[in-house]
Amino acid sequence: MKKVLIINASVRNGRSYSRKLTQLFVDNWKVKYPDDTFTFREVGTEIIPGIDASWIGGAFIKPASRTEDDHKALALSNELVKELKEHDVYVVATPMYNWSIPSGLKAYIDQVMRINETWKFRSGVPDGDYVGLLENKKMFILSSRGDTGYGENEKNEHMNFQTTYLKFIFGVMGVKDLTVFSLDNEEFGGEIFENSKKEIFETIRSIG
């Protein structure tokens, strides 16, 4: 039995296509792995606070030296990090906002990107050699985008700060088994978008 963590990042509810991808993923996964369990973490419609000076002050000192105020500043971060460590499969569903990710998802990443918790320096000192501490995890990125051509070797690849960033940042934290599914052309609608939906929906249904 595996534990699946679903992270929804869209600020929309009913009209969100990234959320539709999430529901399709969950429905499909439940059929194929009925014993697996799900946890839903909302970072789009619920506020994830950004890090501040108190957070930094607590995160970058040794745990034994932390004060009560330090522990208070890190309370949510500790909860989110613990959640990541306890789950086997991550599903991040996110729209592309201005060629990047929603602010809530960025705030979430800042909360979980914790030195000596989700990553560390290999040598123990800053040297640019990062070691991820989230081991044996599998991740799916479900993205929705208004335009097209953001994939590898495509014309808009250089403008994709959404999935490329997520792959990099979770890779630093140790997630190497990572798959991206992108629903493109939402802005255009019509037949071109319907074809995109049909293709990506069929792909998600084939997972597992």
Q: pLDDT-derived band of residue 198, with 50, 70 and 90 as boundaries?
A: confident
Spatial separation of the C-alpha atoms in residues 205 and 208, rounded to whole Å? 8
Say whether 77 counts as a known binding-site residue.
no
Q: pLDDT-derived band of residue 126, with 50, 70 and 90 as boundaries?
A: confident
Q: Which residue has the higher pLDDT, 39 or 147?
A: 39
Q: Which pLDDT belongs to residue 75?
A: 98
Please tell me the number of Cα atoms within 13 Å of 132 on its side-chain side: 18
Say whether 18 counts as a known binding-site residue.
yes
- Summarised one tens digit per residue, pLDDT across range 56-108 is 999 999 999 999 999 999 999 999 999 999 999 999 999 999 999 999 999 99
Q: pLDDT-derived band of residue 188, with 50, 70 and 90 as boundaries?
A: low
Tell me what the pLDDT averaged over the chain comes to. 94
For residue 146, which amino acid is it?
G
Token couple for 116:
């000596």
Query: Has residue 4 got a pLDDT over 80?
Result: yes
Q: Which pLDDT belongs to residue 200?
A: 86
**CB 141 within 8 Å of CB 103:** no
Q: pLDDT-derived band of residue 199, with 50, 70 and 90 as boundaries?
A: confident
**CB 163 within 8 Å of CB 143:** yes
DSSP string of 14-31, one letter each residue: TT-HHHHHHHHHHHHHHH
Spatial separation of the C-alpha atoms in residues 110 and 205, rounded to whole Å? 32
Say whether 16 counts as a known binding-site residue.
yes
What predicted TM-score, i.e. pTM, was given to this entire model?
0.93
Query: Has residue 146 got a pLDDT over 90?
Result: no
Domains of the chain, first to last: 3-49+78-114+134-206 (3.40.50.360)
Q: pLDDT-derived band of residue 40, with 50, 70 and 90 as boundaries?
A: very high
Spatial separation of the C-alpha atoms in residues 206 and 31, rounded to whole Å? 12
- List, in sequence order, every residue forming a beta bridge with 5; answer none if it has no partner: 39, 90
Query: Has residue 143 got a pLDDT over 70?
Result: yes
Say whether 182 counts as a known binding-site residue.
no
Spatial separation of the C-alpha atoms in residues 158 and 99, rounded to whole Å? 10
Q: Which pLDDT belongs to residue 174?
A: 98
For residue 114, which amino acid is it?
R
